[in-house]
Structure 1
């Protein structure tokens, strides 16, 4: 990102996580408002829209995200003859009028001390700027439930590249391991997908009810700062250290689940540094199709926290 003014990314967390790791800004759009034909997943040459995955921009300034979204947003090839995308204006122009909640940590998927410190400092900064932040408000679901539904549907969405024989083999794996969980859900039958989709819709409804009382939810992007590249073990055999505790590698992708599975927009901006000197970002989650509310608030957060760290290569 040091050499590029704008990047376009896709997949299920490949906007938010790179932004968090790199100290830049990124916007995961509401599902379905940016045409995604040709993205991976699914397989090259397919016409279907992959579940959960979206296409969105990364940049160094939130204003560039807004500019990019104005270009990218629109109906897909099937709906273009009759549909138009007209996103609503931000809920409030004044940040002090926004009703903000913050979900900074959770016993099911704890964040490390640096992440908690940086996000707590953000809450204090916002409060000092006149923004009301409720750190106890939650939607009507647990983080554990949202992550489970997210991961089940995510692995099912990635199944298109596997031949039937391999999927049959995956479905038969009954092992109580992270890889066994991945295999069984990659090979999920359609009736099971429908059941998990209904669980997803329940989460969407609970988010909708939550956003009757709040305009923004602040959340971690990941439970820690950027990890070192490590391919010494197969992906689902790896562990990561979070505050000195070995956690499953998949715990890195838990906090992106509640907004991702429910199709909500989420803007990531850097808000501080870890003790190792690495960026830590925050997710700014807004109601479905209210991307402009998330982006509007992101500009305030970016201004208060100093924006993107300046790359050394910039001189």
Structure 2
């Protein structure tokens, strides 16, 4: 089965005990999804907290610029405490900004589990969570309830999941428009004319639309960020799935759009994996994936803990305290 990607090798090495810390980057869940599949911890920091100098892409030697719109770099580990320690080292301004800027990690909002006001959503019609994964999520919520956490179910007021997901997909695909060769542009423009709701059609539009479309999408992103920040005035964290499925057997179909994933409820599109990770990426919010148990087939399941902007210690702290009531990292059999 796949360990996820793109930090799948790092997550598998952590689970196997070959290392205690791994760096990764995340634009489409590349820290959070491997952590979920492999039963370890992963943290997608607030946008801009960890410098991206040296990250590929862009090509080596590219001068640093402002923080990228979506991608971030962050740590994976076998405990929440290690995530925090790693972030304390990794975080801070790029070396060119360091003479004028300092960074310190704000403290977590709580000192015990019962201090936290946590919202959650475990399923959505736009991307149904498989029953085996959903059962593990439900047990975690019940453990939090028993621990005295103030829980509130439902999306934040003003969040329209399908709309925020579409904005994320547009911006995600825009990031990779530079990969198009000149001879491919006209072909993509023709494909973009048929907006049938498919990922391929949305990708073609993002690759070829006028810049004003990108500007409008960036504006929707800012509006989404404001909605989430308003929510975090009265809440400390928000829990949601990392992915709708546990680790799955490889599908070697050459085209991503054709790949299907098996679930107890039937086959699903491969690209549905982008849905649940999209909200924290779109808004630049910190998000920690924490292991919370195994499916009935013995596969790891993680839950995603989104926190307030720049308050990365809060979702990491919730992850650590969740381990106290439901268990944290468990080494796989044979390791």
Instruction: With the length of structure 1 as denominator, give the TM-score of the two structures.
Output: 0.94
Instruction: Evaluate the alpha carbon distance shift between residue 203 and residue 242 of structure 1 in structure 2; reply closer, same or farther with a 3 A threshold.
Output: farther
Asked if 1:283 is matched to 2:304, the reply is yes
Instruction: With the length of structure 2 as denominator, give the TM-score of the two structures.
Output: 0.89
The equivalent of 1:28 in structure 2 is 44
Over the aligned positions, Cα root-mean-square deviation in angstroms equals: 1.7
CA contact (8 A) 1:103 1:138 kept: no
Instruction: Give the number of equivalent residue pairs.
Output: 314
In 1, Cα distance between equivalents of 2:200 and 2:154: 34
| Secondary structure, aligned partner of 1:312 | coil
The equivalent of 2:5 in structure 1 is none
The equivalent of 2:215 in structure 1 is 194
Unaligned runs of 5+ in 1: none
In 2, Cα distance between equivalents of 1:180 and 1:84: 43
The equivalent of 2:94 in structure 1 is 76
CA contact (8 A) 1:11 1:40 kept: no
In 1, Cα distance between equivalents of 2:252 and 2:206: 23
The equivalent of 1:212 in structure 2 is 233
In 1, Cα distance between equivalents of 2:78 and 2:183: 45
In 1, Cα distance between equivalents of 2:95 and 2:208: 29
Residue deviations 1:64-110, cap 9 Å, x none? 11110010001013422211112321112122111011111111111
The equivalent of 2:127 in structure 1 is 109
Instruction: Evaluate the alpha carbon distance shift between residue 171 and residue 139 of structure 1 in structure 2; reply closer, same or farther with a 3 A threshold.
Output: farther
In 1, Cα distance between equivalents of 2:126 and 2:275: 10
The equivalent of 1:91 in structure 2 is 109
Identify the match of residue 138 of structure 2 among 104, 120, 141: 120
The equivalent of 1:4 in structure 2 is 19
In 2, Cα distance between equivalents of 1:265 and 1:239: 30
Asked if 1:178 is matched to 2:199, the reply is yes
| Secondary structure, aligned partner of 1:79 | coil
In 1, Cα distance between equivalents of 2:172 and 2:113: 34
In 1, Cα distance between equivalents of 2:185 and 2:330: 44
Identify the match of residue 259 of structure 1 among 266, 277, 280: 280
The equivalent of 1:157 in structure 2 is 175
Unaligned runs of 5+ in 2: 1-13
